[in-house]
Structure formats: structure tokens, C-alpha cells
Amino acid sequence: MALLTWVTLGLYALSCKAGTTIWSGSFNAYPTVATFDVWSWSNEVGEYQWYIHGSQNTSHYLALSPSFKNPADTSETNGLKLTIDTTSSWNGQPFERSELIPQTTQNLGTGNLFYHFSISHPSTNLPDSTVEHQICFFESHFTEVLYNVQEVPYWDAPFDAGTWFNFAYDIDFTAGTVGLWASTGNPNPLVKVVQNVAAATSTNSEDWHLGVLRVVNSGTPEDWYYSGVYIENGPITTSVGSGTGKQLKMFPVIDHHLNQHFVYEFYHDHVVDDNRSRTNADTVWTMWRNRIYWTYRLPVSIHMQVDKPALLLPMPVTFKSDIT
């Protein structure tokens, strides 16, 4: 079984709009993957910037087909298949990256906005469950979806092949808060699984990375499906097709050592709280492996001791969510 997470320092296009779309990432604007190559820094056209990828042709990393989209999304002809592999190193970095970025003159960092997208993966070219993946993240990583991370999540769920996950980041740039709406399958409507909390919200309107970053440059190819991408102002559109969604149950993970609704993060199997043992860190890491996650970062940092030099790390408020 695989799992996803949401984090913040990081959704889906709906059949009827409650808010106003200020940027559409619909793949209807791309009749073939060659259309992505029309964009350049000297020719900023289309819905996406496409420059963060490996050395191969665009068709090696991107593909369009109706089989790659959420069946509940009736507004799009095709979904996007995005591939990463050992050729996906970008700009000499030791990561594998295939990422699209909104191309727009709109201000995507003002007021209360909802960043929608749906993701899935097939039963072949599976995500590597032993390696961290960063998905649909901002440059500052104030919120993102993660796969197989070494930290306790705020929301998580099994990331099973063939299951569509519909998300909306609920970002209030004025108040400096972020929350999460989510549902699984289709056509299940979004429900709010994490209430808005303080976060270091910011964007220059061209730093939301729609795609995948795998933190090592090794391993087998992976295929990821994307559908229903758009950004709207409120009120949020919650319907995905029609029907009743599965309720996502949320409950806090409590640190009994602090007796508060705080937990420390885990980095590279090292717990940042020096009052906990390495064995405990490895145990918790095993618990969260193979899930997808969502989390956020508070706009504060504190010094914490680890069994390596002290790091300046953000302190997260953590929630776990299971599907009932």
C-alpha cells in the first residue's frame, strides 16, 4: 500500500464553478506535447512555463491522453502523464525533476485563493516508495504534497494505483493562513480536511511547481497523472462531477512529551527533539512510509538539537487523516 501527505512551510477542477477562475491550467490548450515547447523566455505564451526537465525531448517527459485524466473532469479532453527517470536532472542538480509552472500575468498571491489539481498514478512505473517526492510545491515549500517523507504529516492517505486524489490548497495570502480540501476517487466532492492555520504564505505568481521532484537521481522511471488544474478565488468550488464524497477523518497527533498539539519533524531518520531516541525516529519513519502527505510551515523558526549540528527548523502543527 502506498501513501500521500500534505505539508506547508504543500485542488481539483470541478464541474460547476463557485468561485472565479483567475488562471486555468487546462490541457485543452495543448493539442500535442510539442505545444509545450512553443513557450520560451523570449516567447512567454500558453498556460505553462516548461523549462524544468531533463535532457531528453519533451515527449520523453510529457504525454497527453484521455486515459491520463480524472474521469469526473468532463471539461478537459486529455490529462497529462508526467515522467521522471535518471535523465531528469535539471541544471546539474542531483534530483529528478519534471515540472510545469503557471504562465500568467495574474496575481496568484493575493486574497483568498484555491489552488486545484488532481493526481493519480498507474499500476506500472510506480513511484519509488523508499525515496522522498515533492509534488505541486511552492519555491519556499510553505505548502505542498509529499510522497514518502521522513516527517510526521498533517494529512495523509494511501496512495493506491488508479485512485484519483482531488486537492485544493486553501491559501489566504492576506491573513497568512493555509488549509486543505481533498477527496478521493470520482466524482467525489472536496471536503475540508485541515482548517486554515498560520503559514508563511508567499508567491511571485511563477513559483508554483506542478509536477514531481524526486530527491535522488537514481532508480526506475515513474509516471504521474495530472488533471483539473486551475486557481480560483472564493468561494471554493467543491463539486467534482456529481455524487457524494468519501469523508476524510482528521485528528491531531499529540506529542505527549510536550502535552501540546505539536510534533517535531523528522529529517533523514534523525529526530529533531534531542529527548527522543534514534530508534523512536526510525519507528515513526516506518509508520509513515508509502503514504502521500500534506503539511505546512508556520511563519516561525526555532533552534532544535539533533545528533548532528544544530539546525534552524520550522515547527509544524501536525494532523493525520484516514479515509473512513
- DSSP at 96: E
pLDDT, tens digit, 9 for 90 and up, residues 194-235: 899 899 999 999 999 999 999 988 879 999 999 999 999 989
Looking at CATH, the fold of the domain delimited by 3-323 is given as Jelly Rolls (2.60.120)
Higher pLDDT pick, 24 / 9: 24
Q: Give me the pLDDT at residue 13, please.
A: 32
Percent of the chain with pLDDT over 90: 52
Could you give the CA distance from residue 113 to residue 233 in angstroms, rounded to a whole number? 4
Q: What is the mean pLDDT of residues 12-20?
A: 52
Tell me how far apart the terminal alpha carbons of the chain are, to the nearest angstrom.
16
**What pLDDT shows up at residue 153?**
63
The residue behind cell 482528521 is 250
Q: Hey, where are the domains in the chain?
A: 3-323
The per-residue pLDDT for range 270-280, each reduced to its tens digit, is 223 333 333 33
CA dihedral 103→203→91→62, nearest 10 degrees, is: -40
Q: Which of 50-64, 69-83, 280-294 has the lowest mean pLDDT?
A: 280-294
Q: Is the peptide bond before 153 cis (omega within 30 degrees of 0)?
A: no
Query: What type of residue sits at position 208?
Result: W
Torsion of CA 260, 316, 198, 13, to 10 degrees: -120
